[in-house]
Structure 1
Amino acid sequence: MCTSFVYQTKGEDLFLSRTMDFGFTLDAKPVALPRGYTFESDVDGERYSGKYALIGAGRNLGKYILADGVNEHGLACASLYLPSEAVYSKNAEAGKTNLAPHEFLLWALSFCKDVSELREVLQTIHLVDQKVDLLGITTPLHWIFYDKSGNVAVIEPTDPSFQLTLKENPVGVMTNTPSLEWHFKNLINYIDITPEQKTSAKFGKFEAHPFSQGGGTLGLPGGYTPPERFVRAAYLKEHIQEANNEQEGITNVWYVLKSVTIPKGAVIKSDGTPDLTQYTSSMCVSSLTYYFTPYGNQRITGCKLDDDFINHSQTPYEWDVLQTEDILYKER
């Protein structure tokens, strides 16, 4: 599952946002990694020492596994599931950077400043079918990238030759299977959806009037399948009233995220366990602020990748986030 989208305010604050929908408890929390953070590939044991500091959400499993993040140059990325379509090589390839799919986001944010630089080095990357030990599976992923210049690109590893390419994403939304091009075509089914109220219509001598407001949105899908979430996010990000600054932008982002957030129990997997939104997050690529909300607490926590950490820190830093509801009770 998962939904992601990009958003820009009038003041040109840029955000890449996402829901993290998953059935297995991930225990992810906001974490900042310093320049020089070193990790070892699960594929061939090669060690990589990152050039850039970054902030995102993840978990330390011997090394940090991140599901999303933004680095010191404002390159942001979110990884989402692409089941049934993602394909990976069975073997490492000499002369290439051999990575497991769950390592690719960390590598990209550690070594690339922007989408253009990512495009230049992408042919050196070889993704290998390598399991995440915690999950016992190889994660079928695709990735959405956003940078300070407003470039949006998607990588979907569907080529049988295992070559990776960047796809342009003019809609600025990504969910899950089917592939991105299918979702673009599916939007044609919803071009009549509008924020404006529908007018009355005559049926013989009877004139039908709208029940109330919102008639223009009749037909907007409300389920949790990837196509429905894609359409809903695309519609809302397009029509939500424009924000003036970063703070208003985060308010808008969270309203869009709420529309695709999955409460526990609304979606049950074939094994009987719930698939739910474990957290929502947004990365402001302009201010390098990471915004995070866990399932059990609706407060937005903001964590900043500041200059002091970028220039001086040598160790990772994790933020503790309250996991239970934080309610402000008011006395009379």
Structure 2
Amino acid sequence: MPKRLTAAAAVSALCLTAAGPAALACSRVTWLGPNQQVITGRSMDWPYGFNSHFYVIPRGERLNGAGGVNSLSWTSRHGSVVVSGSTEPGGAIDAVFDGVNERGLAANLLYLAENDFGLATAPAGRPRLSFAAWTQYLLSQYATVKELVQAVKADQIQIVPVPFGPGGKAKATVHMAVSDASGDSAVIEYLKGKPVIHHGSQYQVMTNSPVYSEQLKLNAFWSTKDRTHELPGSIQSPDRFVRGSYYNEQLPPTSDPRQALAGVMSVMRNISVPWGTPDPEHPNISPTWWRTLIDQKNRVYYFDSALSPQMVWVNLNQIDLAPGSGVRAVQIEGNDALQGNVTRQLKPAATITFLAPK
């Protein structure tokens, strides 16, 4: 076997081992372009749909983190638009997975098997926040990544990993990627109950297992190769990380927002999981149900369903986010009549009741 193929096979085996049998596939990429352009894309890969909706949460909205005893309550400082859905097939809207606020801060919640919020050893008395409300809390409270990271480092809030899904069998082991309109970025993991943060504009890609420090090492290995000829192609998390990093670097520095969005979406489609037969050796690898694009400069939020030929979006510049304007929503998953700009189709809705411990 040629030496370069032997090396590629070896690292592919390492990637498969690192991913493990419990890897659930989601990916996030942030692209930085000329003229202060920042575009973040993510994919949502899961065994079932979430009945996803765009939700508008204005400034001044009173929210409860559904953490159980000592549950955190807060008032929204920044208006936001989020993708929210049900963690239980056919259930009520009870979680936020993705979103952007009026200041251009984006947050993307992804699966990480190794994540440990440390609930069993947590100090008593800290305010508690359901993992299902974590994304919304960050978007409604912070304007920049720097401000958010300072708060997370203080470690004053206990995130509660509430089991979810059919029979409560899914574990809420999740990590967070955040980026802002300046291009700053951070990846937040909790390991052994403590936040581990990778902060800087260079952290543009996030997938799933292994932990981020190991992902960076694997990607560094591949960066020494001729990736025009050697590039891992599986749907495993480390392979998607490497491909996402490489293709994100190859996107042209266009000033055309339309081309920039198309470029980021092309990367997201390359690292999505095709709709097809599950892998019996990795039963938790799931197809991509949807993708989002967030244009953080122009404040436009796009949603691309794998089951619809039509991409839809909302324009935050056209949405009233003032206190008292009310929560609004529109169903975007399974609503085949939607197409294009759906900002005007947002209708008054009840405040989200987040998934809470039983």
Structure 1-normalised TM-score?
0.82
Question: How many residue pairs were aligned?
Answer: 304
Equivalent residue number for residue 189 of structure 2:
156
Matched, 1:96 2:118: no
CA-CA distance at 1:63 after TM superposition? 5.9
Q: Which runs of 5+ in 1 are unaligned?
A: 195-215, 328-332
Matched, 1:241 2:265: no
Secondary structure of the 1:268 match is coil
1:108 to 134, 138, 155: 138
Asked if 1:49 corresponds to 2:75, the answer is: yes
Q: Once the 2 structures are TM-superposed, how far is the Cα of residue 95 of structure 1 from its aligned partner?
A: 4.7
The answer for the alignment partner of 2:161 in structure 1 is: 129
In structure 2, the partner of 1:167 is 198
Q: Is the 8 A contact 1:91 1:129 kept in 2?
A: no
Cα deviations by residue, 1:138-197 (Å, 9 ceiling, x for unpaired)? 411000110122111011011x2x232421252410000101111111123322555xxx
- Contact kept, 8 Å, 1:39 with 1:49, in 2: the verdict is yes
Alignment of 1:178-217 (within 5 A): 178-194=210-226, 217=228
Q: Secondary structure at the match of 1:309?
A: coil
SS at match of 1:124: coil
**Structure 2 CA distance for aligned equivalents of residues 93 and 132 of structure 1:** 24
Return closer, same or farther for 1:133/1:322 CA change in 2, 3 Å cut-off.
closer
Q: Per-residue deviation at 1:32?
A: 1.9
**In structure 2, how many angstroms separate the alpha carbons of the residues matched to 1:253 and 1:325?**
26
Q: Which moved more, 1:33-42 or 1:135-144?
A: 33-42
Task: Letter of the 1:32 partner, please give it.
Answer: V
**Structure ID, larger Rg:** 1
Change beyond 3 A, Cα 1:191–1:284: same
Distance 1:219 1:64 in 2: 42
Partner of 2:301: 290
- Partner residue, 1:9: 33
Q: Distance in 2 between matches of 1:50 and 1:192?
A: 45
Deviates more, 1:25-34 or 1:142-151: 25-34
Residues in 1 aligned to 2:284 and 2:109: alpha-carbon distance in whole angstroms: 22
RMSD: 2.7
Does residue 349 of structure 2 align to residue 317 of structure 1? Answer: no
Deviation at 1:324, TM superposition (A): 5.4
Tell me the amino acid that sits aligned with residue 139 of structure 2.
L
The one of 312, 329, 351 equivalent to 1:301 is: 312
Taking the aligned partners of 2:143 and 2:240, their CA distance within structure 1 comes to: 30
Is 2:44–2:291's contact at 8 Å kept on the other side of the alignment? Answer: yes
Give, in angstroms, the shift of residue 317 of structure 1: 2.4
More deviation, 254-263/48-57: 48-57
SS of match in other structure, 2:50: coil
Residues 33-56 of structure 1 show CA distances to partners (whole Å, capped at 9, x for unaligned) of 222333323222443332221112
Determine which structure has the larger helix proportion and give its number.
2
% identical equivalent positions: 21
2:176 partner letter: W
Query: Which runs of 5 or more residues in structure 2 are unaligned?
Result: 1-24, 340-358
